[in-house]
Every structure is written in C-alpha cells, then in structure tokens.
Structure 1
C-alpha cells in the first residue's frame, strides 16, 4: 500500500531532493512562503547569473556570523543588525550593506547617474533638475517668492498634484506646510493677527498712529 502522507519538507525542482523547509529561503510572494529552489541551488543559479553578466563572485564572510549580527561585503566587518538599514524587500528585513557603506553607495550612484545628490533629489522628488530650479529662481528675481528674502533654497510644490509652484526660503516653505497649503487657514491667520497685534493706522496724510488690538488682553504684571 502506497504511503499517501506528504513528505516532511519540500522538493527542489533543480536538484530533485526533498529538503527541510529551513533549506529554502523565505519568499512572501509565493503561496507556501518559500523560495522555488533550495538555498544551495538558488546560490548556484545566482552565481551563474552574475558570471554571465560579468559580475565577480559574491563576497561571503570568512568567519561564522553569530545571531543578531551581519557581515557587510563592502567594509568586510561583522556588525550588529541595527547597523544595517531596514527594508521590506528582503526576507531578513535588512539591507546587504551597513549604513555607512549603504550611504556611500547611494552617493556614488547619484553622482554617476545624475551628477550629484542635489540633482538626484530634485529629479526624484519634484521631476525637475538644477537647471529648471535656477531658471525659476531667476524668474522670481533671485528672492523668495513670498517674503522676498535672498538666497531661497526650498522648492515648493502642490502636495496633491506635484506641480512645482516656486522657490521659497526655509521659513515660508515651512509656514505653508504648517498651514497645510490652505488659503482658508491663512486668511483666518491674517484676520487673527490683525485683531490681536498693534497696528500702525494712517490718520492723516503722512501721519500714523499705533492702534491697540481689538481682541486679547495685556500681559500680567511681573512680580
């Protein structure tokens, strides 16, 4: 009588072996949560693909890596897991390179593809480059589009549409964000300030008088 019980593991379609589940990498995209090939076959296929593309052999730690630790192929050091950036793209939840090496690789890629991190940041987030930034700033006369301050460095955009609106200084850009880009909130803030702040009123041509607020109360006496 044939044994109809399921095998105590999973079969690898390449080496044809039935192996324990621990011999397969995790893969959240698959129904069983495990990779198609076993770890040994997956590594061999990966190395063959790298050689075919002209990439050198994958580096591996020369010594055993303990629990809660990870080896960085760039600096070739074993570090705690919290020294590696988090990611949801890998089953381990951590990037392959430690934070300093990961950042260095990012800067090198931005420099190689975009000529610098600023160009990369502008292109990736706003869809414009440094050339367009400088052109828009020149149209504004080289000053903040709101307060007229010199040397503004913040590119303002509509958060709903992504449409670039202008170049602002740090304070004006942050102010719009705090007011959630709402004209109604800004109008109410203007009304509030006019009613609670001392104002200079024109009472005669060339003659001004300071007027007290219409709302609020004076500060308490200090003892």
Structure 2
C-alpha cells in the first residue's frame, strides 16, 4: 500500500487513486485552472541554497523570505522577485499599493478617502494643516474617523485615544505655557499661571 497516500476519511485509510495517478490528475486540474507548470532547477542545488524560477538564479537561503506554508520553510521566489510579484499583484488587483493599503487596513479605497478629505475642506480634521494623508481610525472598532496630518495622527496614538488624558494635557499646557504679559506700557515679561514670572536678568 506504499503506492497510495494515506486518507483518514476513507474506510480503508488510503486515497482512492495511487500516488502516480493522483499527481497526474492534480497536474491536469492545475492546467485547466490556468496555473502554469511548476519549473524545476536545471541543475542540482547545493545545501543552503535555493533556485528562484523567476530570475533563474541559485541564491543563499537568506535571500528568500521565510514562510510556514511550505515544507522547505522558504518562499519559492527570492526577495527581489517576491517583491516584484507582490507589486504586480497589487497593481493588477487594486490598481496600486496605495489602494491595496487603504482597503486592507481601513476597508476604504482612494475614492472614499478623497470624499472624506473633500468633506474636511482638504485640511487636517484637527489642526487644519493642508494635504493630510493619514487615515485615523478607532482602534477598538476599526471604524474610520477622519483624515489627519502626520503629527495629529501620531499624537492621538501617543495619547492612546484617551480623551481624559488629552484633556489633562490641555490643562497642563494652559497652566505651564509661558506667555508675553504687558506689565508696563511697552514692557512685556514672560509669565506662567503656575510658575509666575521669569526672573529679570538683573536679579
């Protein structure tokens, strides 16, 4: 029975077709589905190396991305070819990397992004800076909230989207930020509500 693959779902514990016929049927099915025939290295590959069918080169294993999905533990294509294939797929399926990124991470496309940005007047929803490019979303629900500039988007992340902490930061700034205060006609001094005035240079 060594000519048959094991199959626990069958009463006898073996596949219906022998290994040779199963391989032939699988190959025929792949051709019908438009999958090209798997290429093989034209010459033996030494241990610690792998052949890339796209660039037809033998390279060290560290030039291939790791994966748990293959028995060898490495992808079929070297890093440059793997990246090129990924780029081609994104262009073919999504029209580009930007569209792929938006849909995969936020569930919206460039068209929805443009509509949201137009609704904000083309400005950051927080500070009003021009040409914001970052999608802000609720990390708990995944829902998109608006389009922000780099600084505002990063700021919300640093404050963990916590309105209580943000309110405390506002009160802190109000109480500690130094401001120019008129103390005599034409004379100003830097003051803080919590720290008083800066000492004069003569004191």
Q: Normalised by the size of structure 1, how large is the TM-score?
A: 0.71
What is the DSSP-based 3-state SS (H/G/I as helix, E as strand, rest coil) of the residue aligned with 1:78? strand
Show the counterpart of 1:58: 38
2:107 counterpart of 1:127? yes
2:17 counterpart of 1:13? no
Gaps of 5+ in 2: 7-14, 199-203
- Structure holding more strand per residue: 2
Out of 147, 168, 186, the residue aligned to residue 148 of structure 2 is 168
2:63 counterpart of 1:102? no
2-structure distance, mates of 1:173, 1:164:
12
Distance 1:149 1:61, change over 3 A: same
Distance 1:153 1:124, change over 3 A: same
Q: Normalised by the size of structure 2, how large is the TM-score?
A: 0.78
8 Å Cα contact 1:199/1:213 also seen in 2: no
Gaps of 5+ in 1: 1-9, 17-35, 219-223
Distance 1:183 1:41, change over 3 A: farther
8 Å Cα contact 1:70/1:81 also seen in 2: yes
* Structure 1 residue 98, shift from structure 2 partner: 1.3
8 Å Cα contact 1:157/1:165 also seen in 2: yes
* Structure 1 residue 45, shift from structure 2 partner: 5.0
What is the DSSP-based 3-state SS (H/G/I as helix, E as strand, rest coil) of the residue aligned with 1:79? strand
* Structure 1 residue 213, shift from structure 2 partner: 5.5
8 Å Cα contact 2:3/2:19 also seen in 1: no
What is the DSSP-based 3-state SS (H/G/I as helix, E as strand, rest coil) of the residue aligned with 1:64? coil
RMSD over aligned Cα atoms:
3.0
Distance 1:200 1:52, change over 3 A: same
1-structure distance, mates of 2:40, 2:55:
12
* Structure 1 residue 160, shift from structure 2 partner: 0.9
